[in-house]
């Protein structure tokens, strides 16, 4: 039923100013920015427009195209790889195991009533973790930092679940594993669950952003299909019957993704799209993105472009 409500609302949504600039409709882009920027913010739409024009011209100078093929050419290949891996990391962190935990809870001997309560509690924890991520973590801590710590923590939780499976003779082990699964859910929404959406949008160049996000989401679906085929085999008593040992498998995937992110995932917080274009073009190491200083032309503001943009008629 949701499209019935969303489609009429989308009819009134402003067009992307980035798209309007790429097609040369600067006045329409300014109108769109005026709708998007709050008057109380004190930000001038023309200043933002100048920045968008400058970034678009820079990407044209860097010969960044607009086709899917360009996503796999030169510097853009690295940006596509990062976007795809970050999104696929949502699955590789063990979400297929943790978010289909009802069957696992039954396998470790918990009753239907307890399983239901745990699932409701897990949903509440996930929602709380999402709000914490939005308001307390993402605005103040780096994307790379949150992603790394989140992935590492989830890997540890999954390994503990696997280790506890060797102690099934001890009373309460099943409940402990179930609680750890809820803790995993909380950590996931606090970190990778949110950044898996945010980072792909920041990673691609502005001229290829939509296509980069599409490729990243498709990589998520491919990994998701594979994991959803394997997960029932891991848990089913008539198949591999791994129960909590499944934590070792997904924990290993999480640690491998953590290792990849340590060497390949750059810090994008506080960087403009123009700065990201330059950093990727210069092939700066992911671990040096945060502290790398841009000087000279690379660090200049958009004053020169603003001169051209500010001569456009005022839009009332």
Which structural domains are found in the chain, ordered by start? 16-61+285-309 (no CATH), 71-264 (1.20.1250.20)
Which of 143, 161, 141 has the alpha carbon at shortest distance from 245? 161
pLDDT tens column, 102-126:
888 877 778 888 888 888 888 999 9
> What is the per-residue pLDDT for 239?
84
CA gap 135, 241 in Å, rounded:
41
> What is the per-residue pLDDT for 219?
97
**How much of the chain is in helix, strand and coil states, percent to nearest 5?**
75, 0, 25
Using the Cα atoms of residue 256, residue 260, residue 262 and residue 268 in order, give the sign of their dihedral. negative
| pTM to 2 decimal places | 0.85
> What is the per-residue pLDDT for 302?
43
Largest Cα span, the chain:
78
Question: Contact, 66 vs 228, CB < 8 A?
Answer: no
On the CB side of 273, CA atoms within 13 Å amount to: 22
> What is the per-residue pLDDT for 309?
44
Question: Contact, 68 vs 211, CB < 8 A?
Answer: yes
Q: Looking up tokens 């309007």, which residue turns up?
A: 20
CA gap 254, 63 in Å, rounded:
36
Q: Looking up tokens 């950590």, which residue turns up?
A: 187
| Segments of the chain scoring below 70 in pLDDT | 168-170, 295-316
> What is the per-residue pLDDT for 299?
44
- Spacing of C-alpha 307 from chain mean position: 36
Q: Looking up tokens 């003779």, which residue turns up?
A: 169
> What is the per-residue pLDDT for 173?
84
> What is the per-residue pLDDT for 167?
79
Q: Looking up tokens 């123009």, which residue turns up?
A: 274
Element (H, E) at 248: helix 246-264
């Amino acid at each position: 039923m949701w499209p019935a409500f969303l489609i009429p609302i989308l009819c009134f949504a402003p067009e992307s100013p980035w798209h309007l600039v790429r097609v040369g409709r600067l006045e329409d882009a300014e109108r769109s920015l005026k709708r998007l920027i709050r008057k109380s913010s004190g930000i001038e739409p023309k200043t933002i427009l100048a920045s968008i024009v400058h970034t678009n011209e820079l990407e044209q100078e860097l010969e960044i195209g607009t086709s899917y093929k360009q996503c796999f050419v030169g510097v853009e290949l690295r940006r596509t790889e990062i976007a795809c891996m970050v999104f696929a990391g949502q699955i590789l962190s063990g979400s297929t195991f943790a978010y289909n935990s009802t069957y696992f809870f039954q396998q470790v001997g918990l009753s239907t009533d307890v399983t239901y309560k745990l699932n409701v509690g897990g949903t509440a924890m996930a929602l709380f973790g999402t709000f914490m991520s939005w308001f307390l973590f993402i605005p103040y801590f780096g994307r790379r930092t949150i992603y790394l710590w989140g992935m590492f923590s989830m890997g540890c939780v999954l390994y503990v679940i696997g280790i506890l499976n060797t102690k099934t003779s001890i009373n309460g082990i099943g409940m402990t594993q179930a609680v750890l699964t809820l803790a995993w859910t909380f950590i996931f929404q606090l970190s990778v669950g949110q950044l898996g959406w945010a980072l792909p949008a920041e990673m691609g160049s502005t001229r290829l952003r939509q296509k980069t996000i599409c490729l990243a989401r498709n990589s998520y679906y491919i990994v998701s299909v594979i994991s959803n085929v394997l997960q029932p085999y891991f848990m089913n008593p008539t198949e591999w019957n791994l129960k909590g040992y499944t934590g070792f498998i997904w924990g290993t995937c999480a640690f491998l993704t953590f290792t990849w992110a340590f060497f390949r995932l750059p810090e994008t917080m506080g960087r403009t799209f123009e700065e990201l274009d330059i950093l990727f073009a210069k092939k700066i190491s992911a671990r040096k993105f945060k502290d790398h200083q841009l000087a000279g032309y690379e660090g200049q503001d958009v004053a020169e472009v603003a001169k051209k943009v500010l001569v456009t008629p005022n839009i009332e």
